Amino acid sequence: MERLQAIFIGFGLAVVLTVLPFAAVLGKWLPRDATLWLIAIAAVVQIGVHLHFFLGVGFTRKHRERLVTLLFAGVLLFFMVGGTLWVMGNLYWRMM
Amino acid sequence: MRAASETVETQMDSEAELGFWLYLMSDAVLFGLIFATFAVMATNYAGGPSGSDLFDMTNLALQTALLLTSSLTIGLAHHAVTEDRLGPTVLWMLVTVALGAGFLGLELWELAGFVAEGAGPGRSGYLSAYFTLVGTHGLHVTAGLIWALTLIAQLLVKGTGSREKSRLLRLSLFWHFLDIVWIGVFSLVYLPEFL
């Protein structure tokens, strides 16, 4: 029963966090930069919602290994994606 | 004897679950690097069309709605199988397959349209990166659909045993993971083009 509740809470939050950026883009409520920030924040929060409510990532003992390996993947991504953007951004700037 | 073999099976399922989770993490690194490639290529149009010339909002909203709803239905399928209710399990899996197939159909239709307009992956660095990212996601969805159909057949033949439960758990993890990747795709690749 608890599991079913988590699915519906997660889905409800995901719908809100999806509709919000789409509505902001279509409605043009905010300046361009603010809309981009809204899209980015809604995406990060929604990824957190999916991880917690659908993929069972949390601080409880039950799936502790999921959290630990996810953090490890996060460290790898930080170095590889961050390094790629850093190097290529620097190259672009020098070629200007 | 029977109790002992069941314990061994539970142990094997939990190991398979961890192994599959580790695969998902490696897949997250793969997608992260394709996203980085896309970010580097984001303005390399080579005189060709940009996303704002190509993308269609209705198509994007439909694709996103289909994939997000399928995340709910695979969750409901997994919940039904833990309660040994075969009928609802198969039904929710069939709905998931239908939603996933709808998503994939819209994606293929969109990509085929771009190619027909002369905006294929060979047109510019931007379009190469776009087709790689969206195509890799689409291939994962295709694999998920084949897996889901296979599992539906297994469920119908073998019922809701512990092996089938474990397989459906792993399929639901895979499917939710693909929805997370799609959040990145519509937030980074599509939505900024409509501003």
Task: Kindly report, residue by residue over A15-67, the tens digit of the pLDDT.
Answer: 999 999 999 999 999 999 999 999 999 999 999 999 999 998 888 777 888 99
pLDDT tens-digit readout, B100-158:
999 999 999 999 999 999 999 999 999 999 999 999 999 999 999 999 999 999 999 99
**Tokens (6 digits) for B110:** 């969109």
Contact B36 A85 (CB under 8 A): yes
- Structure tokens belonging to residue B172: 């639901």
* Inter-chain CB proximity B183 and A43 less than 8 Å: yes
Q: What is the per-residue pLDDT for A2? A: 67
d(CA B113, CA B43): 21
Residues on A contacting B at a C-beta cutoff of 8 Å: 3-4, 7-8, 10-11, 14-15, 18, 21-22, 25-26, 32, 35-36, 39-40, 42-43, 46-47, 50-51, 54-55, 65-66, 69-70, 72-73, 76-77, 80-81, 84-85, 88
Which amino acid would we find at residue A14?
A
Q: Both tokens of residue B4?
A: 């002992």
Euclidean distance between CA atoms B42 and B39, whole angstroms: 5
Torsion sign, CA atoms A65, B37, B177, B6: negative
- Contact status, residue B87 vs residue B95, Cβ threshold 8 Å: no
Find which of A5, A13, A18 to mutate to test the B interface (most B CBs within 10 Å of its CB). Answer: A18
Q: DSSP assignment of B10-52, as one string?
A: HHHHHHHHHHHHHHHHHHHHHHHHHHHHHHHHTT--TTS--HH
Distance CA B149, CA B105 (A): 17
The alpha-carbon gap from B63 to the nearest alpha carbon of chain A, in Å, equals: 12
What is the least distance, in Å, from the CA of B108 to any CA of chain A? Answer: 22
C-beta separation of A39 from B187 below 8 A:
yes
User: What are the residues whose beta carbons fall under 8 Å from the beta carbon of B107, sequence distance 6 or more?
Assistant: B63, B134, B138, B141
The pLDDT of residue B3 is: 61
Residue of chain A nearest B26, judged by CA positions: A73
Looking at residues B69-83, what average pLDDT do you find? 96
Residue B59 has pLDDT above 80, yes or no: yes
* Spatial separation of the C-alpha atoms in residues B9 and A26, rounded to whole Å: 51
- Contact (CB<8Å) A3/B29: no
Which of B25, B29, B75 shows the shortest C-beta gap to A7? B75
Q: How far apart are CA B176 and CA A5, in angstroms?
A: 17
